[in-house]
A and B are shown apart, each in its own frame.
Chain A
Amino acid sequence: MNTNNMNTIFWEDERVDGADKVTGKAKYTAEHSLPNLAYAVFVTSNIAKGNIKNLDVSKALAMPGVLDVIYYANCPAVPGYSTNSVERPKNVSEWRGHKVLYDNKVRFFGQPIALIVADSFENANAAVRFVKPDYETESFETNFDKARLDAANLKSPFNYKRGAGITKTIAANVDAEFNIPIEVHNPMELQATIAYWEAEDKLLLYDKTQGPKSTQSVVARTFGLPEKNVRVIAENVGGAFGSSLRSWSNVPAACIAAKKLNRPVKLVLTRPQMFSLIGYRPQSWQKVNIAADAEGNFLSINHEAISNTSRYEDFREGIVDVSKFLYACDNVTTKYSLLPLDLSTPIWMRGPGEATGCFALESAIDELSYKLKIDPIALRIKNFTTINPENKLPFSDNNLKACYDYGKEKIGWKNRPIVPGTLKENGWLIGYGMAVGVFGAGKGSASVRVVLSNDGKLLLECAVSDMGPGTTTSMTKIAAEAMQMPIGKIKFKLGDSDLPPGPSQGGSGTTSTVGSAVDLACKTVQQKLKELAIQFASSFAGLTADLMDVKNEMVVLKTDTTKNIDIIGLLKLANQEKIDLIINSSGKTPEQLKFTSNSFSAHFVKVAVNAKDGKIKILEVVTTGDAGKIISPKTARSQMLGGVVGGIGMALSEKLELDHSTGQIMNASFGAYHVPLHSQIPKTDAWFVNKPDMNMNDIGAKGIGEIALIGFAAAIANAVYNATGKRVRDLPITPDKLGFKVAKA
């Protein structure tokens, strides 16, 4: 475990909601129970594109317990489904994405075409195969590799260019293409919604979402309801990694069914549906060209990318952005286009576009280092920058060099063979690799309700969610430090849209954004306490607040702590039951906007590749993060470990397989889509620089979730090259790509 300078003033180390999770008490979306609950299941298309000429639901309707079969012909009108902006009422916006149960069009294989609602889960499921569609099929395209070759298929190019061109002599140049297949989030909790119309215009939703406020707003605007009439509860979120950042078809479908049947309806996706209905990391092709002089200075970087989207929506992410600012380089051009395919719409997946971009950029830099005969870490240090070359602002902090120092030492970089493929132990080729990750560090606006009661307990509330990083724990810790009071007396409540507005949990922004609001809320309470002390406690009469501190549940005089009054006593003296405030924290201040802020990571990997069959084993991992102050060491470390596991999957095994003759996903299960398991995970050391970045926000903390994964796949690819001398630029890296013959089972 990481032993660097962690703040140790806290009393408890475990997750504050951990006991509920290890005892099974924590309730996730589908586990909430409502009286008279009905069960809904989707019937999905088995063609990729076309029209449904007729949908025979009569037999399904006659099945035991079936209450309704909802489809385009009997679906109640949804205000937000209207494409006519003139007809739509002012408080209604058009539903973004696939309008489920709306029309007879099929846009992708596995698209919901009907919703069966029954009195039990078993009865709903039993009716699925009795829904008989009669299709009129259309031609379609799901083959990215083929379709991207025709420029006419590409759309919406975004171009970027800086620099007047290369004036120095190019000593080495890398020009390489990279391919990453579709990867699927596959959180363990199935996507689920329970919808219940408590009144004609009042809707209660239990929904698996990373943003209760975002879901509330989307649902309100889709169904033409005032926001306050929609309550979204997401108490616990069983992983998401981006897949619950928007409302998918399960949300309107459950709302429609609950309305039509006038009873609560629960809709839970199946695991195969988790592959096609809630987004994925898009397939991508990239081309990176880097030129350098003999000393290793980057003279130019060109980064081109194409990623897929659906036919009905554009989805774009930050694939080429890393090349614009991670390293000092005068001449940079990027180009990023979309390729629409007959698939569902992708969504950000952990480390979103940056993970894709860093795989290409960081692999190319590694390749360049061998051409230049410069150590890859030295090459990165050579092009290190403290100024963001894209926007010319200084980084609020950038401690990548400290990460390099730690990782290099811990992984045993000195043992790395200079000539690839030359270190062999017991029939295994050994190699070392490293790569860098980077992600923007944001601070948005958030509101927090803070209640300090006269029993000495502190309650904080914000409508964020916690999909696993430990937001409840880190917010409690921020409050404990600000208030200088024990964690056990603090409760942080989230996961309910009725609470003061907070952001969706995504883009590694929760700790900075909500944490800043929590910090501000606690400081405001302290100020109130000081004012109360001056007003009501005789020993503080006539003093000013700046002479006082609030700590150890007391208001004390800074210069003489024997002069104090405890919080409970003070509130009673002031005859106040509680201090109850709502605090709004805004985005970055003008002072903070003078900087550009990022979290950074550097990953170090030691691999072994079997010299006979090409089997790849990760022997050891050292992962380092520069994310400002580490609020909650234990959960932060867990996030880094999780990023390593996700990165191993991305690098070595994860790939969605499509049958391009039907458009069907061929491996929509855990049995066929291979996420990493226990035995694939090596000993991992996770370390943080843990230096507060006070230019970024008042708590000095930046996000961790994304940088934990970004760059990791490149670190493995680079280590595999170092071990074998074979450069694999197409993920996942499998023995056949290393030139080994794979035995047929």
Chain B
Amino acid sequence: MPMKACNYNDARRGFLKKSAAMAALYLTPTTLVKAFAVDAFVPTPIAKEKLTITINGKLLHLEIDARSTILNLLREELAFTGTKKGCEMGQCGACTIHINGKRTKSCMQLAVANQNNNITTIEGLSTTEQLHPMQAAFLKHDAFQCGYCTSGQIMSAVACVREGQAKTRDSIKAFMDTNICRCGAYQNIVDAIEEVAKTGTKI
């Protein structure tokens, strides 16, 4: 996309985009959006940014709104609605995904900061027709009720086992404290994780 003539605000935005992207983990999206123009009134159209990203094994070349978080990109643009929006402040864990294999709260990540990154969402967790062992364990142990925090819980749970944090119930709980379940399925979630960890299967 051709760039527009550069005025002060555009240049400022360009700068802030880069620094904001680096600060993405620490700032809320609201703060980020504010950071793009502070108090400046910017009625000019927002330029789209190019993004190359792999989502659930599929390489995508996208043009996206630079302000979009990965969460909103997934849910609003790409129809991957399995990843949930619960707070947009990095406090509830409902939006947990894996970026390059590491669990990450997708509401805290600007999409443009993820050039060439490899994203796995709940939809891509199982690479076969079968449920992923963690999904099956959640089902077996009734580790959810309304199901809204479930995608995030499962993505965190997989990371918990992969990172060797599922050795005791207490260590599972400590690792999973990032993910709120308001229905209160906590005990069943820990049961599910413990069972998967005990099988020793590589997940």
- Which A residues lie at the B interface, using CB under 8 A? 14-15, 17-28, 30-31, 33, 59, 62-65, 120-123, 125-126, 129-130, 185-190, 236-241, 268, 270-271, 467-470, 634-635, 637-639, 641-646, 669-671, 675-679, 681, 683-684
Q: B residues 164-189 with Cβ under 8 Å of A?
A: 170, 172-174, 176-177, 179-189
Complex interface bits, B58-102 against A, C-beta within 8 A gives 1, otherwise 0: 000000010110001001100111111111110110100000000
Bound CA–CA A270/B92 (angstroms): 13
B197 at the interface (CB under 8 A from A): no
Closest chain B residue to A648, Cβ basis: B184
- Residues from chain A with Cβ under 8 Å of B22 in the complex: none
Bound CA–CA A130/B148 (angstroms): 33
**Is there an interface contact between B87 and A669, defined as CB atoms closer than 8 Å?**
yes
- A24 touching B82 in the complex, CB below 8 Å, given contacts A638-B142, A645-B186: yes
- Residues from chain B with Cβ under 8 Å of A241 in the complex: 182
Residue pairs across A and B with Cβ atoms less than 8 A apart, 24 shown, are A19-B131, A21-B150, A22-B144, A25-B82, A30-B75, A30-B85, A62-B41, A64-B45, A121-B72, A122-B65, A122-B68, A189-B86, A239-B146, A271-B89, A271-B92, A469-B145, A634-B142, A635-B145, A638-B183, A641-B186, A669-B87, A670-B89, A677-B177, A678-B190
**Is there an interface contact between B122 and A23, defined as CB atoms closer than 8 Å?**
yes
Bound CA–CA A468/B144 (angstroms): 8
Bound CA–CA A65/B48 (angstroms): 13
**Is there an interface contact between B44 and A64, defined as CB atoms closer than 8 Å?**
yes
- Residues from chain A with Cβ under 8 Å of B176 in the complex: 678
B106 at the interface (CB under 8 A from A): no
- Residues from chain B with Cβ under 8 Å of A23 in the complex: 82, 122-123, 126, 131, 135
Closest chain A residue to B43, Cβ basis: A62
Interface size on B, residues (CB 8 A): 69
Q: B residues 99-121 with Cβ under 8 Å of A?
A: 121
Looking at A190, A236, A467, A470, the one whose CB has the most chain B CB atoms below 10 A away is A190
Known: A238-B148, A271-B87, A642-B184. 20 other contacts (CB 8 A): A14-B142, A15-B142, A18-B142, A22-B131, A22-B144, A24-B80, A64-B45, A121-B72, A188-B92, A188-B180, A236-B146, A239-B148, A240-B146, A271-B91, A641-B188, A645-B183, A675-B182, A681-B184, A683-B187, A684-B187
Q: How far is the CB of A657 from chain B (nearest CB, A)?
A: 16
Bound CA–CA A634/B46 (angstroms): 51
Bound CA–CA A681/B92 (angstroms): 17
- Residues from chain A with Cβ under 8 Å of B67 in the complex: 122, 126
- Residues from chain B with Cβ under 8 Å of A679 in the complex: 170, 173-174, 177
**Is there an interface contact between A24 and B186, defined as CB atoms closer than 8 Å?**
no
**Is there an interface contact between A642 and B145, defined as CB atoms closer than 8 Å?**
yes
Helix, strand, loop or mixed for chain B's interface?
loop
**Is there an interface contact between B68 and A22, defined as CB atoms closer than 8 Å?**
no
- A63 touching B43 in the complex, CB below 8 Å, given contacts A642-B185, A670-B91: yes
- Residues from chain A with Cβ under 8 Å of B42 in the complex: 63-64
Q: How far is the CB of A77 from chain B (nearest CB, A)?
A: 30
- A669 touching B188 in the complex, CB below 8 Å, given contacts A22-B154, A187-B146: no
- Residues from chain A with Cβ under 8 Å of B140 in the complex: 14
Chain A to chain B: the 5 pairs with minimum beta-carbon distance, closest first: A24-B82, A645-B184, A238-B148, A21-B147, A468-B146
- Residues from chain B with Cβ under 8 Å of A126 in the complex: 33, 36, 46, 67
**Is there an interface contact between A271 and B86, defined as CB atoms closer than 8 Å?**
yes
- A188 touching B139 in the complex, CB below 8 Å, given contacts A31-B75, A33-B79, A271-B89: no
Bound CA–CA A17/B184 (angstroms): 18
- Residues from chain B with Cβ under 8 Å of A669 in the complex: 87, 89, 91
- Residues from chain A with Cβ under 8 Å of B139 in the complex: 14-15, 18-19, 22
B18 at the interface (CB under 8 A from A): no
Bound CA–CA A271/B182 (angstroms): 14
**Is there an interface contact between A677 and B180, defined as CB atoms closer than 8 Å?**
yes
- Residues from chain A with Cβ under 8 Å of B159 in the complex: none
**Is there an interface contact between A59 and B41, defined as CB atoms closer than 8 Å?**
yes
B34 at the interface (CB under 8 A from A): yes
- Residues from chain B with Cβ under 8 Å of A26 in the complex: 147
**Is there an interface contact between A271 and B88, defined as CB atoms closer than 8 Å?**
yes
**Is there an interface contact between B43 and A470, defined as CB atoms closer than 8 Å?**
no
**Is there an interface contact between A635 and B122, defined as CB atoms closer than 8 Å?**
no
- Residues from chain B with Cβ under 8 Å of A467 in the complex: 146
Query: Which of A59, A185, A238 interacts with B147 by CB under 8 Å?
Result: A238
- Residues from chain A with Cβ under 8 Å of B89 in the complex: 271, 669-671
- A22 touching B123 in the complex, CB below 8 Å, given contacts A62-B43, A122-B65, A642-B145: no
Bound CA–CA A158/B112 (angstroms): 59
Q: How far is the CB of A363 from chain B (nearest CB, A)?
A: 22
Q: How far is the CB of B53 from chain A (nearest CB, A)?
A: 18
- Residues from chain B with Cβ under 8 Å of A237 in the complex: 146
- Residues from chain A with Cβ under 8 Å of B86 in the complex: 188-190, 271
Q: How far is the CB of B81 from chain A (nearest CB, A)?
A: 4
Q: How far is the CB of B134 from chain A (nearest CB, A)?
A: 8
Closest chain A residue to B189, Cβ basis: A678
Bound CA–CA A670/B174 (angstroms): 17
Bound CA–CA A198/B195 (angstroms): 49
- Residues from chain A with Cβ under 8 Å of B44 in the complex: 64
Closest chain B residue to A644, Cβ basis: B184
- Residues from chain B with Cβ under 8 Å of A637 in the complex: 142
- Residues from chain A with Cβ under 8 Å of B33 in the complex: 122, 125-126
- Residues from chain A with Cβ under 8 Å of B43 in the complex: 59, 62-64
Bound CA–CA A679/B168 (angstroms): 12
**Is there an interface contact between B145 and A468, defined as CB atoms closer than 8 Å?**
yes
B20 at the interface (CB under 8 A from A): no
B149 at the interface (CB under 8 A from A): yes
Bound CA–CA A536/B46 (angstroms): 72
Looking at B30, B83, B87, B146, the one whose CB has the most chain A CB atoms below 10 A away is B146
- Residues from chain B with Cβ under 8 Å of A684 in the complex: 187
Bound CA–CA A676/B181 (angstroms): 8
Query: Which of B85, B131, B173 interacts with A678 by CB under 8 Å?
Result: B173
Bound CA–CA A671/B136 (angstroms): 31
